[in-house]
Structure 1
Amino acid sequence: MNKIGSKGLFSGIIVSLAMIASARAQSVVIPVETKDNALVLEVGNDRVLNMVYFGGRLGNKDEYKNIGGLNNFSGTIGSYNNAYTTAGTSNLVEPAIQVTHADGNKSLDLKYVNHTVTKISDDVSLLSINLKDPVYNFEVTLNYKTYYDENVTEQWSVIKNREKKSVVLNKYASANLCLQGSEYWLKHYHGDWAQEMKPEEERLSNGIKTIDSKLGTRADLFQPPTFMLSLGKSATEESGEVMYGNLEWSGNFRLDFEVDPSNHLRLIAGINNYASDYVLKAGGDLETPKFVYTLSDKGKGEATHNFHNWARKYKIADGEGPRLTLLNNWESTYFDFNEDKLASLLKDTKKLGVDLFLLDDGWFGNKYPRNGDHAGLGDWQENKAKLPHDIGYLVKEANMNGVKFGIWVEPEMVNPKSELYEKHPDWVVKQPQRPEIYMRNQLVLDLTNPAVQDFVFGVVDGLFTKNPDLAYIKWDCNSVIFNANSAYEKNQSNFYTDYVFGLYKVLDRLRSKYPKVPMMLCSGGGGRVDYGALHYFTEYWPSDDTDPLERIFIQWENSYFYPALTSSNHVTDWGKQPIKFRVDVAMMGKLGFDIVVGKLKPNELAFCQAAVNTYKQFSEAIWHGDQYHLQDPRENDIASVIYVDQAKSSAIMFNYLVNWRVGTESNAPIRLKGLDPEKKYRVEEVNVMPGSRSTIKPSTYSGKFLMTVGVNPDVKSWRPSVLIAVKELK
């Protein structure tokens, strides 16, 4: 198996209440419940599976059977609320699935067969609903995996071809939801390289709004598969009904939002069918990627906590474990380094007080040395001129300095100027009769080919085999797919989908052998951030833009969906802000440095060393605590966020000036969130530059006071970033 409305017009027919009751008595009602919410499916006497409700959970399950008759989902051309809308029969709205049978017929009609519920744990349950076409031997199983305490559901389909010949899947979505609200407000994101996660919110009108990607790799470069959907009105941090969604897929995706003639919203999420009519062989199954979502009637804050708690516990690699602070050499040296220079940087790693030294791009290639981004990619042997004693020497040097060692790879890619390209031109994604098109002077390897999968696995496995103490991998992916064509794939329309299946096969093998090794998902910045990829990675790189002012906005938007321990934030020389501002911003996640430590002034070095210690004191709150967005940088001169540990005993509040016009400052207290109102807390400023004095007097307050009145961080142009520690008095 591959993993991958207002009421309709009056019809003139009067149906008695007795007839309605009789028909509904034959229905099958299937509630999908979490702690606070319920999604209700219903099978009528026509054996069609419909979705009749998505909202707050009822105390009495027997009452779900009364919901279906209260809403009119029918229009002049049929029903709009099918749980998995087919094409070619009675449905004329946007389909979730569309097929072409071997005889050329394009109709599909899925009828309910049965369903099962599997209890995986006290918290997790799986509902599987089997549907079958009465004419063709074609089946679909709809899966709903619920995480009860977290109020999260993962939904996907398994499409089964039991016909005697291949069928073509023209569309094959993971999920099809029907939502009800007076209005629908969609917040989605767009951007480009170094401009990721720009938000845009709009009221959906009748018709279809589609968010998609056709880039192949780095699929999120322009738009990520992540969104907020408010029902009725635009949700605030603490009020409104809002749904978060994310497609767990690292390739081309498609999200359709269709407001139907009855003013219901039909949401279809799945793999993008662009250039991807999938040929499914006789007897074959296709498992679509999971679509994960949560619903909150208490605003965005609760939805954020739902996603964060679920992700750390169930999805992210080692989501409940610690993270490593690091020093990266990239912006210190770029491609210009040797053993002596790196050995010096290893000593700086220890001096700075971080856990790991990360060697970035440029360490490999001999016939075509990797002295720039135009050559060597794909030739994963140490460059003898730079590293005469190989990686092992540096790993030992790191150990001798009391730090760990990590390394950069980009194993899915190749430079045309490389030995790999010369030996295996058939491994490269390209059109044989057209000019090659490059992004960062490179092309993409064909991961539909098992030989290429073995090679990519071998790149990373070989590094660990030779260097067992290797402690970290930075996995990059800088190019999108141009000229999509595979020398291996027989059905070219399967290529985009099978590429991602191939990538996941490699990552499955790596995680099976190296389950705990930290790995950063880089992808030229935030070009591949989704929960399908984060299943294999401990963290991601939000953007190549490390200007701290810009990073506040990028990290802020990502943090609605992804917990802080997944966000790799590095201190660099980008931007005009002082070192304190840069460090303070990087501490809102997984802290790293990409600077020349030797060029720091004594007081700057002392500050960075103290900041690393402060970070480690509050890392539990940042990594595994609850995050609260206090003041949005797009709506206020001062941005503010707080992380509170699970025991509500320790918290750290980050405050930043984001409007540098004259006279902007924090003029009023900012109310904190997430504390215990009955506890007493000591409040004081931390991360103060050596030689400077805090303007905030250490004081003691009740949690009730801090959440009702608040504290003024005293942010001004001459102190543009302020960190406040909140610790329980015991």
Structure 2
Amino acid sequence: MKARNTFAIALCALTFLCNAQTVIPIETKDFSMVFKTDAQHRLWNIYFGKKLKNTSDYKQIDEQYYFPDANAGIYNSAYTPSGTWNLSEPALQVKHFDGNRSTELLFRDVSIANQDGATVTKIKLQDPVYQLEVVLHYKVWSDLNVVEQWAEIINNEKGKIELNKYASANLFFTNKDFYLTHFQGEYLREMMPTEEKLTQGTKTVESKLGTRAMLLGTPNFIVSFENPVQEDSGMALVGQLAWSGNYKLEFDIDSNKNLRLIAGINPYESTYELQKGERFKTPSLIYSISKEGTGLASRQLHSWAKSHRVLNGNGDRLTLLNNWEATYFDFNEDKLSGLIEDTKHLGLDLFLLDDGWFGNKYPRNNDDAGLGDWQENKQKLPNGLGYLVQEADKNEVKFGIWIEPEMVNPESELFKTHPNWVIKQPERSAKLYRNQMVLDLSNPEVQDFVYGVVDNIFTKNPKVAFVKWDCNAVIYNAYSAYLQEKGMPQTHLYVDYVQGLYNVLERIRKKYPDVSMMLCSGGGGRADYEFLKYFTEFWPSDNTDPIERIFLQWNYTYFFPAITMDCHVTNWGNQPLKFKVDVASMGKLGFDVDVNHLTKDELEFSKRAIKNYNGFKHLVLHGEQFRLASPYQNPYASLMYVDKNKSKAVMFNYLSSNRFMERMTKRPIKMKGLDADKNYIIKEVNLNKNDEGSFVNPVKYSGDFLMTVGINPEINVKRTSVVLLIEEVK
């Protein structure tokens, strides 16, 4: 594959004949990534594609390609260094202990081990002049075609070194054409997809927000090969950088029209020092590879996430009633006690008390004050949280609480007492977001404080069963008084903040391993597979308009299983309650409404719908998901969840556009994931009172019919959402 120069090629041929080259295949069930050394012991990525039957054939792959890169130095390095003969975008930039900025990496050895049901390959590279070591890790769940990879950088030099860039992954693809789907947006419009054909040059997707790093764009992406992205055909890679801070994804089409993908922590203002003997582990790049489009890639990633990453991924989830839109900051014990009774009356599992329950000297009556002072507000809650926990217990429901422990209002006792705990440039005036600032989690004292917020709640009220962990500010005027005091570089802040947060979460989970926790961030500012080691679920967006949620939730399904997505019925939108409930039922269902404002019919419908959801939620939370009709290509959306035995399924159908006043589904929608040889009956649920629906009389269909011909759910402007249960009949 390489055409570095005639001498190098001759040496390569000689060492191959002498059997001196090392070939390293990283294999899944269907795919392989192959590395090969040359005569100088440099390591090249020579193949990424369909798995070959005979591993011995891999050593001949590079002989079939001619990709000269003499003017760039290196294109397909396994982990591209900088400062020597490489002129391409590097994965690694280092300033060595003596100030030298050039790095070379040569292959030293490889090891393979089994771990947690996966195969882990470790490839050790080392600079031949400096005692700098890089270990590339590839963790493979073969049956799921899922790979998690990261790098570990080890300083064995004579003194400290600087990491100026330290990517997690450096992939290389030789397919002819590449199409990238990335997800950009803004607050209330998160996760909006853009697909583009990659052309020569570099496409960069990045964040510099510090916290809420996914707010304007996400570290999630899809690469499709040869053709634009397709749901059920073609090779696709669905990936994510699992890092909760600033990230950078670089998609570089080189001069030979190959794709180089470099992903990792954003090096922006993040030069990181390593002392002698220290090591740095980069975050993971996680991806699922499919030869049958994004549908299979998503299902593989969902299965991996539930079994191997998400906290309690194969467990249950609690339906809940949240008080936020019912009361906002204006509540007292009597109001909350009534809402707890409503939780029981509706048939929900848990009552969640949102923002506004804390602060005394600076009471939290709006978002101007009190954040950071985590004692119960005596005027609103004279008997404390314990009284509400008892009320929940009396009504046979669980109790949950909202916190935002990483943030502080300037009008708070915490800020007045510890102004140096806040991230803020001393020479600049404070820049507030939602009237708040970010606490400096690089500081161990601040980590102890944040841990204590959670620990104190559980210590005083051990029956608290749910935490909604919010984060509503980004990092302005980045500066750490703690790092300055310790003589550490300010460029550590963005990285140490995230690692400090992970440290806090590790401590919480060690002491409280089973409590359900929602990852919130003013919407979709946070959701990644490093955070989901500690959280059971996440909040996709503050935008709960059900039409918008159809699109938002659809896009999240490419990367996250339904069990992780909190979907609430709220006052947003002018659609009927049935439509709102049906849209929220495609994830983890919750209600955020004032029950007293529901009509008698709406109340009774809600109770029936919650009962129905509890009857089929195991399909939503644990079934395989199939996207059937995209709202981007139709005036409606359709998707379904099928159990592992292919005996039961639930199908959701939504009107997503009503520009034309006519029946929207003119053709049947083909189902997926069923057994062609089984027979099924279909029943419509979540019907309004006196509405018989279109599937009143059970009709038996073969799985073959449902997947080949399909059925018409009869979506129209009067029938805007249809939920169908599909069940096997013998």
1:220 to 206, 214, 234: 214
Q: Does 1:132 align with 2:130?
A: no
- Please say if residues 421 and 439 of structure 2, whose CA atoms lie closer than 8 Å, have aligned partners that are also in contact: yes
Query: Taking structure 2 as the reference length, what is the TM-score of the superposition?
Result: 0.97
Q: What is aligned with 1:608?
A: 606
In structure 2, do the counterparts of structure 1 residues 589 and 15 end up closer, same or farther at CA, with 3 Å as the change threshold?
Answer: closer
Q: What is aligned with 1:620?
A: 618
Q: What is aligned with 1:422?
A: 416
In structure 2, do the counterparts of structure 1 residues 692 and 286 end up closer, same or farther at CA, with 3 Å as the change threshold?
Answer: same
Q: What is aligned with 1:555?
A: 553
Secondary structure at 1:347's aligned position in 2? helix
Amino acid of the residue matched to residue 704 of structure 2?
Answer: K
1:76 CA drift (Å)? 2.2
Q: What is aligned with 1:714?
A: 714
* In structure 2, C-alpha distance between the alignment counterparts of 1:261 and 1:719, rounded to whole Å: 53
2:283 to 286, 289, 304: 289
* In structure 2, C-alpha distance between the alignment counterparts of 1:19 and 1:87, rounded to whole Å: 26
Q: What is aligned with 1:535?
A: 533
Q: Does 1:85 align with 2:80?
A: yes
1:668 CA drift (Å)? 1.3
- Please say if residues 23 and 44 of structure 1, whose CA atoms lie closer than 8 Å, have aligned partners that are also in contact: no
Amino acid of the residue matched to residue 288 of structure 2?
Answer: T
Secondary structure at 1:549's aligned position in 2? helix
Q: What is aligned with 1:445?
A: 439
- Please say if residues 675 and 703 of structure 1, whose CA atoms lie closer than 8 Å, have aligned partners that are also in contact: yes
Deviations 1:358-379, CA, capped at 9 Å, x for gaps: 0000000000000000000000
Q: What is aligned with 2:509?
A: 511
Deviations 1:22-73, CA, capped at 9 Å, x for gaps: 4583210111111111111111221111111111112222222221222234
Which range is displaced more, 599-608 or 16-25?
A: 16-25
Deviations 1:604-651, CA, capped at 9 Å, x for gaps: 111111111111111111001110010000110111000111111111
* In structure 2, C-alpha distance between the alignment counterparts of 1:604 and 1:327, rounded to whole Å: 16
* In structure 2, C-alpha distance between the alignment counterparts of 1:291 and 1:71, rounded to whole Å: 27
Amino acid of the residue matched to residue 30 of structure 1?
Answer: I
Which range is displaced more, 689-698 or 490-499?
A: 689-698
* In structure 2, C-alpha distance between the alignment counterparts of 1:679 and 1:385, rounded to whole Å: 62
Secondary structure at 2:217's aligned position in 1? coil
- Please say if residues 8 and 39 of structure 2, whose CA atoms lie closer than 8 Å, have aligned partners that are also in contact: no
1:105 to 100, 115, 124: 100
Q: Does 1:35 align with 2:29?
A: yes
In structure 2, do the counterparts of structure 1 residues 26 and 343 end up closer, same or farther at CA, with 3 Å as the change threshold?
Answer: same
- Please say if residues 353 and 402 of structure 2, whose CA atoms lie closer than 8 Å, have aligned partners that are also in contact: yes
1:340 CA drift (Å)? 0.3
1:498 to 496, 502, 513: 496
1:21 CA drift (Å)? 7.7
Secondary structure at 2:336's aligned position in 1? helix
Amino acid of the residue matched to residue 706 of structure 1?
Answer: L
- Please say if residues 23 and 45 of structure 1, whose CA atoms lie closer than 8 Å, have aligned partners that are also in contact: no
Amino acid of the residue matched to residue 118 of structure 1?
Answer: A
Secondary structure at 1:534's aligned position in 2? helix
* In structure 2, C-alpha distance between the alignment counterparts of 1:15 and 1:283, rounded to whole Å: 37
Q: What is aligned with 1:376?
A: 370
User: Percent same amino acid among aligned pairs?
Assistant: 53
2:111 to 95, 108, 116: 116
* In structure 1, C-alpha distance between the alignment counterparts of 2:11 and 2:97, rounded to whole Å: 45
Secondary structure at 1:605's aligned position in 2? helix
Aligned residues: 723
In structure 2, do the counterparts of structure 1 residues 92 and 664 end up closer, same or farther at CA, with 3 Å as the change threshold?
Answer: farther
- Please say if residues 621 and 646 of structure 1, whose CA atoms lie closer than 8 Å, have aligned partners that are also in contact: no
Matches within 5 A, 1:245-644: 245-489=239-483, 490-644=488-642
Secondary structure at 1:225's aligned position in 2? strand
Amino acid of the residue matched to residue 602 of structure 2?
Answer: E
- Please say if residues 313 and 320 of structure 1, whose CA atoms lie closer than 8 Å, have aligned partners that are also in contact: yes
* In structure 2, C-alpha distance between the alignment counterparts of 1:334 and 1:553, rounded to whole Å: 27
Amino acid of the residue matched to residue 728 of structure 1?
Answer: E
Matches within 5 A, 1:106-185: 106-121=101-116, 123-185=117-179
Deviations 1:62-113, CA, capped at 9 Å, x for gaps: 2222212222344123331000000001111000000112322100001111
Q: For structure 2, which runs of at least 5 residues remain unmatched after alignment?
A: none
- Please say if residues 696 and 714 of structure 1, whose CA atoms lie closer than 8 Å, have aligned partners that are also in contact: no
Amino acid of the residue matched to residue 115 of structure 1?
Answer: V
* In structure 1, C-alpha distance between the alignment counterparts of 2:94 and 2:561, rounded to whole Å: 38
In structure 2, do the counterparts of structure 1 residues 24 and 211 end up closer, same or farther at CA, with 3 Å as the change threshold?
Answer: farther
* In structure 2, C-alpha distance between the alignment counterparts of 1:269 and 1:96, rounded to whole Å: 8
Deviations 1:320-352, CA, capped at 9 Å, x for gaps: 100000000000000000000000000000011
Q: What is aligned with 2:688?
A: 689
1:475 CA drift (Å)? 0.2
In structure 2, do the counterparts of structure 1 residues 355 and 22 end up closer, same or farther at CA, with 3 Å as the change threshold?
Answer: closer
Query: Taking structure 1 as the reference length, what is the TM-score of the superposition?
Result: 0.97
1:596 CA drift (Å)? 0.9
In structure 2, do the counterparts of structure 1 residues 20 and 234 end up closer, same or farther at CA, with 3 Å as the change threshold?
Answer: farther
1:205 to 182, 186, 199: 199
Q: What is aligned with 2:648?
A: 650
* In structure 2, C-alpha distance between the alignment counterparts of 1:612 and 1:517, rounded to whole Å: 23
- Please say if residues 74 and 88 of structure 2, whose CA atoms lie closer than 8 Å, have aligned partners that are also in contact: no
* In structure 2, C-alpha distance between the alignment counterparts of 1:61 and 1:12, rounded to whole Å: 28
* In structure 2, C-alpha distance between the alignment counterparts of 1:400 and 1:90, rounded to whole Å: 72
* In structure 2, C-alpha distance between the alignment counterparts of 1:56 and 1:704, rounded to whole Å: 29
Deviations 1:249-285, CA, capped at 9 Å, x for gaps: 0000000110111111000000000011111111111
* In structure 2, C-alpha distance between the alignment counterparts of 1:664 and 1:240, rounded to whole Å: 32
Deviations 1:116-175, CA, capped at 9 Å, x for gaps: 111125x30111111111111111111001111111010001111111221111100000
Amino acid of the residue matched to residue 344 of structure 2?
Answer: K
2:223 to 218, 229, 237: 229
* In structure 1, C-alpha distance between the alignment counterparts of 2:727 and 2:15, rounded to whole Å: 60
In structure 2, do the counterparts of structure 1 residues 471 and 14 end up closer, same or farther at CA, with 3 Å as the change threshold?
Answer: closer
Q: Does 1:63 align with 2:63?
A: no
- Please say if residues 157 and 174 of structure 1, whose CA atoms lie closer than 8 Å, have aligned partners that are also in contact: yes
Q: For structure 1, which runs of at least 5 residues remain unmatched after alignment?
A: none
- Please say if residues 637 and 664 of structure 1, whose CA atoms lie closer than 8 Å, have aligned partners that are also in contact: no
- Please say if residues 654 and 723 of structure 1, whose CA atoms lie closer than 8 Å, have aligned partners that are also in contact: yes
Secondary structure at 2:66's aligned position in 1? coil
Secondary structure at 2:190's aligned position in 1? coil
* In structure 2, C-alpha distance between the alignment counterparts of 1:729 and 1:12, rounded to whole Å: 69
Deviations 1:194-243, CA, capped at 9 Å, x for gaps: 10111000001111111000000000010000000011111311111111
* In structure 2, C-alpha distance between the alignment counterparts of 1:17 and 1:702, rounded to whole Å: 63
Q: What is aligned with 1:46?
A: 40
* In structure 2, C-alpha distance between the alignment counterparts of 1:14 and 1:110, rounded to whole Å: 17
1:720 CA drift (Å)? 0.4
Secondary structure at 1:392's aligned position in 2? helix
Which range is displaced more, 68-77 or 607-616?
A: 68-77
